[in-house]
């Protein structure tokens, strides 16, 4: 739960409030009718993962790839045995190779191809996912598992206009500066280097100054690097005065920062079967979101977001769409309006918590 600095913690707190509108819900009860576990690909979930195996309940997979979590929790022997449990004895040599190469796991696509979900999927009473990609991963690992897709939730948030203007002023942003935002943990799979390269190619000269002159777009990057290699590689590109670098933000500042940007960039490749809470929040606020075209995002209407293809065309597509958004305010408003309408219709906490409540009640004695 908050103040743990994760999107899963924020989600858990919001869902807890929603569930309590329907009946009694306790945190970490010694006895309960049914337990609800929030799981992600993060060492912070180690205790919950163990408890979900020891005392099966309903598991929410916020990330459908748990490979990186297990790499950090197991020793070599246990990791190889767990890999074999998931994928068969004939893959033991592959498991050894993956263990040996684990330092590259954040960027190596092989680690995303093997989610290692079988144990939690088989043990749980039901597995809740947020998108079709995650559902397919669970189905592949545990064909008999009960899989329920429930949308990622959204809690309405209102930020006064004067607070937004004051926050932008504190960042030395002119009122008419178009601002792109990148939020959350900064890892290789969020394509930060590609975003920085596309931004500088589109709007900056060789000396990292704007070719077209002021005001020009700006790029705000808020979050902590999870890799020292990525941090070093990104450092030269972060030197432009029109790229604003912020650390991990506490909730009040995060709300202001997301309200202050005009569009959000949230690419995920390789993806881990997750639905980004940041995407949901920004779309709900009427901000266009540029995201990777994948099954994880297939529930979003095509005209309510901007889909960036992974692969060789990624950077050029990103560059073209950034140029389009920064120059056509009517396009920004139209995409933002359609995105907000979709989120407010399908993701409100009241409807999502009712779906969870009905599911949990199926298992109550």
**238-272 tens-digit pLDDT:** 988 889 999 989 889 999 999 999 999 999 999 88
Helix axes 251-260, 277-284, angle to 10 degrees: 50
Q: Evaluate whether 256 touches 166 at the Cβ level (below 8 Å).
A: no
**57-89 tens-digit pLDDT:** 999 999 999 999 999 999 999 999 999 999 999
- With cut-offs at 50, 70 and 90, classify the pLDDT of residue 213: very low
The string of DSSP letters for 293-362 reads -SGGGTTS-GGGSEEE-SSTTHHHHHHHHHHHHHH-HHHHHHHHHHHHHHHHHH-BHHHHHHHHHHHHHT
**What integer pLDDT is reported at residue 212 of this predicted model?**
44
User: Mean pLDDT, the chain, as a whole number?
Assistant: 93
**126-141 tens-digit pLDDT:** 999 999 999 999 999 9
Q: Which domains does the chain have, with CATH numbers?
A: 7-66+115-153+349-361 (no CATH), 161-346 (3.40.50.2000)
**What integer pLDDT is reported at residue 5 of this predicted model?**
80
Share of the chain above pLDDT 90, in %: 84
**What integer pLDDT is reported at residue 209 of this predicted model?**
47
Residue among 269, 306, 313 nearest 290 (CA) = 306
Q: Evaluate whether 151 touches 347 at the Cβ level (below 8 Å).
A: yes
**308-360 tens-digit pLDDT:** 999 999 999 999 999 999 999 999 999 999 999 999 999 999 999 999 999 99
């Amino acid at each position: 739960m908050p103040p743990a600095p994760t999107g899963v913690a924020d989600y858990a707190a919001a869902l807890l409030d929603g569930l309590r509108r329907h009946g009694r819900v306790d945190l970490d009860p010694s006895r309960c009718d049914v337990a609800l576990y929030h799981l992600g690909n993060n060492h912070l979930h180690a205790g919950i993962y163990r408890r979900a195996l020891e005392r099966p309940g309903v598991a929410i997979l916020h990330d459908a790839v748990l490979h990186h979590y297990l790499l950090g929790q197991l020793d070599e022997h246990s990791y190889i045995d767990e890999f074999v449990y998931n994928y068969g004895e004939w893959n033991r040599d592959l498991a050894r190779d993956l263990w040996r190469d684990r330092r590259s796991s954040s960027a190596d696509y092989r680690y995303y191809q093997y989610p290692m979900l079988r144990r939690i999927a088989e043990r749980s009473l039901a597995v809740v996912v947020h998108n079709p990609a995650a559902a397919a991963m669970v189905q592949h690992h545990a064909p008999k598992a009960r899989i329920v897709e429930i949308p990622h939730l959204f809690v309405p948030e209102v930020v006064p206009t004067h607070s937004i203007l004051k926050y932008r002023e504190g960042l030395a942003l002119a009122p008419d500066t178009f601002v792109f935002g990148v939020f959350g943990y900064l890892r290789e799979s969020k394509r930060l280097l590609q975003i920085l390269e596309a931004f500088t190619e589109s709007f900056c000269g060789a000396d990292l100054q704007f070719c077209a002159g002021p005001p020009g777009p700006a790029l705000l990057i808020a979050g902590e690097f999870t890799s020292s290699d990525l941090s070093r590689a990104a450092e030269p590109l972060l030197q432009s005065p029109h790229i604003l670098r912020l650390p991990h933000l506490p909730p009040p500042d995060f709300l202001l920062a997301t309200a202050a940007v005009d569009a959000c960039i949230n690419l995920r490749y390789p993806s881990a079967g997750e639905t980004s809470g940041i995407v949901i929040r920004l779309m709900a606020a009427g901000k266009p979101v540029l995201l990777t075209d994948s099954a994880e995002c297939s529930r979003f209407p095509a005209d309510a977001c901007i889909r960036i293809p992974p692969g060789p065309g990624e950077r050029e597509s990103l560059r073209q769409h950034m140029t389009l958004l920064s120059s056509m305010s009517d396009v920004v408003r139209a995409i933002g309006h359609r995105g907000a309408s979709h989120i407010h219709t399908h993701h409100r906490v009241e409807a999502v918590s009712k779906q969870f409540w009905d599911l949990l009640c199926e298992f109550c004695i």
